[in-house]
């Protein structure tokens, strides 16, 4: 199985730097991902399903 190379930018990264990264990724054939995916789902706001009452 072949893995594609990806580039992730930090959310606090400067806009101009993001532009440079996207351009460089396009030239190099690398897949650009604007934010790293979260591996853990956030906890629900109502843990016991409070709207069913």
Q: b/e per residue, 21-43, with b = 16+ CB within 10 A?
A: beeebeeeeeebeeeeeeeeeee
Indicate whether 43 belongs to any domain.
Answer: no
pTM here is 0.54
Indicate whether 44 belongs to any domain.
Answer: no
Indicate whether 7 belongs to any domain.
Answer: yes
How many domains in the chain?
Answer: 1
Positions of the chain with pLDDT lower than 50, given as ranges: 1
Report the pLDDT value the prediction gives residue 37, as an integer from 0 to 100: 67
Indicate whether 42 belongs to any domain.
Answer: no
Indicate whether 51 belongs to any domain.
Answer: no
Domain with 32, as residue range(s), is 1-36
Report the pLDDT value the prediction gives residue 16, as an integer from 0 to 100: 92
Report the pLDDT value the prediction gives residue 10, as an integer from 0 to 100: 80
Indicate whether 47 belongs to any domain.
Answer: no
Report the pLDDT value the prediction gives residue 9, as an integer from 0 to 100: 82
């Amino acid at each position: 199985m072949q893995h594609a190379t990806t580039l992730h930018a930090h959310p606090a990264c400067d806009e101009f730097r993001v532009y440079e990264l996207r351009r460089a990724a396009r030239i190099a054939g690398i897949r650009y991902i604007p934010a790293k995916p979260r591996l853990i789902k956030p906890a629900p706001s109502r843990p016991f399903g409070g709207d069913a009452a």
